A and B are shown apart, each in its own frame.
Chain A
Amino acid sequence: MQEQRLQEVRAVLKTVDDPELPSVSVSDLGMVHDVKIIGSQVYITMVPTFAGCPALDFIQRDVQKAVTELSWVSECEVQFTFQEKWSTDAITDEGKKQLKKHGIAPPPENYQPGNEWTVACPYCDSDFTSMENVFGPTACRSILYCTTCKNPFEAMKPVVDYVY
């Protein structure tokens, strides 16, 4: 039964979207660190994407609400931990697909911290794109422009483990 309940919670987490990235679930963004179930109580530990993200409170509330709607759940506690590092590598393939569908290019691979980067256009896949502003409407996104299809678009800003 425990295993089945865990799967139910995991399934619910795939339905809770990031409020600033509609249709991309917190689960596919790689924000769910750990799920613990004790009887009818659920404890979820999540990893924030960017530290300054103002959506964290909303995500916490949305996750709690969605999980509590499972009939057997009496209580759900959601906590963010800053002790675990989120990186853009944690985004699942499904997450990347959904981002692209909404005009947001998934983060580039092989990014070196501090270096410039670009990505292919999420609409036409062209490589002829340019960085307009590395800082976009939210901490996790940048603004680019596609020279081929002449569309502005956004991309998830790559963040990777800092090797010192």
Chain B
Amino acid sequence: MERGEEEMIESAEKAKQDPIYLNALKDLIYQLADDDFIISFRGSEWLGLAPHIEEDVAFSSITQNTMGHALMFYNLLEELGEPEADQLAHERQSNVRKNAIYFEKKNGEGHYTEEPYYDWALTVVRNFLYETFKKVKLEAITKSSYQPLANVAGKVLMEQPYHLAHWKIWFNQLYHSTDEAHERLQARLLEASEEIGDVYELGHHATEMEHFELMISEGTLRERWLNEVSKTIQEFPSIDIGKKFGSGREGDHTPDLNQALEILSEVYESDKDAVW
């Protein structure tokens, strides 16, 4: 995506002047914000349960930072006239959320406060696929026509290489360790390939996003992402990627998202006026 004839939009005020541009822009930012938000929540559920103490420190640091990225995107939405970040995070129903469905999937069986039988293979595969995707999507967005979003993408990309490097190490070490580790990762990769197909979709406003040079096309995004994945995993199926549960970009979601929202907004709902 080269910046050509299309003009740069430097401020929220200017973006608000064209409702078609504004709606496409907001939809794109909701996808970025909701992806970061839900993957952070699933990450936070691992606190105290990670395989060892060093990982507990690392994973919670990544999760906290990723939640900070979600906040930056929600703040951009706030500037564009949407409700404030706390409301966006806690009060929206699942059918208006735009995260890809694979990221809302439960960490495993059981419950955090009871018997959490979470699966580390799912977590390694999912976070690796997420961080590779986040990298290529944000790289494209650094050239977006909406300058405030391009700037935030640049800021996030300064921190995110640490996250991606972390999950690459986990994947490579486990993948080349025992047969059991290898098989479990393989099974989770297969599962991911059946479910993750909505990740590179851009939703109802895809055409406008491309027209206004907010974003590259779905096809190019998909191609760049698979290329990035293949640098670490040669065996990831690149042709038959399915979307078993529909498209999160269009508001489809599974009961797992409702389960997450119920838990993460429990304290917020108990006293909405509280200042933390």
Contacts and interface: CB of A to CB of B under 8 A. Distances in A.
Nearest to B69: A51
B72 interface: yes
Contacts of B148: 83
B91 interface: no
Contacts of A149: none
Interface in A77-99: 82-85, 87
**Interface class of chain A by DSSP:** loop
Contacts of B265: none
Interface residues of B, number: 31
Given A51-B159, A113-B158, A132 B68 contact: no
Nearest to A52: B68
A83 B151 contact: yes
Interface of A: 50-54, 82-85, 87, 113-114, 132-139, 143, 157, 159-162, 164
B65 interface: yes
Nearest to A132: B54
Given A51-B65, A82-B72, A135-B62, 19 more contacts: A51-B69, A51-B155, A82-B152, A82-B155, A84-B151, A85-B154, A85-B158, A114-B164, A132-B54, A133-B57, A134-B166, A135-B58, A135-B166, A136-B57, A138-B61, A161-B154, A161-B158, A162-B158, A164-B139
Given A133-B58, A139-B61, A164-B157, A51 B162 contact: no
A135 B59 CA distance: 8
27 contacts: A51-B68, A51-B72, A52-B69, A54-B64, A82-B75, A83-B151, A84-B151, A85-B154, A87-B158, A113-B161, A114-B164, A132-B54, A133-B54, A134-B166, A135-B58, A135-B166, A136-B61, A138-B61, A139-B159, A157-B162, A159-B159, A161-B158, A162-B142, A162-B154, A164-B139, A164-B142, A164-B157
